[in-house]
Amino acid sequence: MKIEGRCHCGQITYEAVVDADKVAICHCSDCQMLTGSAYRANIQAPAETFVLRSGQPKIYIKTAESGTRRAHAFCPNCGTPVYSCAIADPPTYSLRVGCIKQRAELRPMRQIWCSSALPWSMDLRGVEQLSRQ
């Protein structure tokens, strides 16, 4: 599936081809901190399909507990997290689903690091729902 993505302000734009069945939600504490939310929804794009169309993201290098270092890209203007990848010669780009124009078509198929999940994030049934505020 061909997708188009951008940051909130539109300075960073990109396109890629993804497998819509590969959307994952990550509940690890790093993803919680890096998004400022309860989890992060990602989809992998093979590097050969990822094309940065405009802008130059700022890169933050994060070292995981495992020692693995990853480049996290975000818009230097609005701060939107856009993707993460290996520091050198990345085979894939982990794109943030919320930045993708076709996000409504990208239903999560698995959840990882559930042991770190905030207890309430696994079941939002019963939480008040408002169509607009």
Q: Domains along the chain?
A: 2-118 (2.170.150.70)
Q: Where are the alpha helices (DSSP H) in the chain?
A: 29-35
Q: Which residues touch 44 (CB under 8 Å, ≥6 apart)? A: 18, 19, 22, 92, 93, 94, 95
Q: Residue 22: pLDDT band by 50, 70, 90 thresholds?
A: very high
Q: What CA dihedral angle connects 27, 29, 34 and 40, to 10 degrees?
A: 0
* Average confidence (pLDDT) over 54-70: 91
Neighbour tally for 35: CB within 10 Å? 15
Stretch among 19-23, 53-57, 82-86, 121-125 having the lowest mean pLDDT: 121-125
Q: Given this model, what pLDDT does residue 64 score?
A: 81
Query: Model pTM greater than 0.95?
Result: no
Q: What's the confidence (pLDDT) of residue 56?
A: 96
**What whole-number distance in Å separates Cα of residue 128 and Cα of residue 125?**
8
Q: Is the pLDDT of residue 43 over 90?
A: yes
